[in-house]
């Protein structure tokens, strides 16, 4: 698997990526947005990768810009009977250019609906994570639910927003999003 859009590539995660992804995953700004938000050990990380790598209902991808890994996309609970899955993504590199996360999301949505042939993609986002929620909505996700006091984080129960997008919804906005996200400067 190797989704490409010019300088941007989404590819399968390999064991060679583990050290970098481990460093990203333990950054406070990334942990803060996760359900599992403790600093993970190397052993936990390698056990996680071994588990998801052998599970056909999971796909772990790395997003690269000009050959440099900058982020991760995870698909979980891939259900081919109902053609649905959950996803999550994050930029590991804090110095990524503006719109890099949206470009990663674009390629990931293409992967979900073309390569995986899903009908629906869902995610859960902490209510306080306005940046992620805004990006998902720009990509075409719709709020499908609000889980009150759903996850204990730093001693407080936090609300979670459930978002989803259907294949038809993505396809109806895909070309417009492409023109916005991948337009060549001055072109």
Average pLDDT in the chain: 94
Contact criterion met (CB below 8 Å) for 143 and 160: no
Contact criterion met (CB below 8 Å) for 92 and 69: yes
Contact criterion met (CB below 8 Å) for 42 and 158: no
Domain 2-182 has CATH 2.60.40.1930: no
Task: Measure the CA–CA gap between 36 and 39, rounded to whole angstroms.
Answer: 9
pLDDT tens digits along 120-130: 999 999 999 99
> What does R_g of the chain's alpha carbons equal in angstroms?
16
pLDDT tens digits along 60-118: 999 999 999 999 999 999 999 999 999 999 999 989 988 999 999 999 999 999 999 99
Q: pTM of the full predicted structure? A: 0.92
């Amino acid at each position: 698997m190797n989704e490409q859009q010019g300088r941007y590539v989404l590819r399968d995660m390999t064991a060679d990526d583990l050290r970098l992804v481990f460093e990203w995953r333990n950054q406070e700004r990334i942990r803060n947005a996760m359900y599992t938000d403790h600093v993970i050990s190397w052993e936990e990380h390698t056990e996680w990768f071994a588990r998801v790598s052998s599970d056909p209902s999971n796909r772990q991808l790395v997003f690269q810009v000009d050959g440099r890994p900058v982020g991760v996309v995870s698909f979980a609970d891939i259900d081919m009977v109902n053609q649905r899955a959950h996803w999550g993504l994050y930029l590991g590199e804090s110095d990524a250019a503006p719109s890099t996360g949206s470009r990663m999301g674009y390629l990931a949505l293409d992967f979900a609906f073309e390569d995986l042939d899903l009908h629906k993609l869902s995610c859960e986002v902490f209510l306080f994570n306005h940046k992620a929620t805004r990006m998902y909505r720009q990509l075409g996700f719709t709020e499908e639910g609000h889980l009150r006091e759903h996850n204990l984080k730093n001693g407080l129960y936090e609300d979670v927003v459930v978002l989803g997008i259907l294949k038809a919804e993505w396809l109806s906005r895909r070309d417009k999003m492409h023109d916005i996200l991948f337009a060549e400067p001055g072109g």
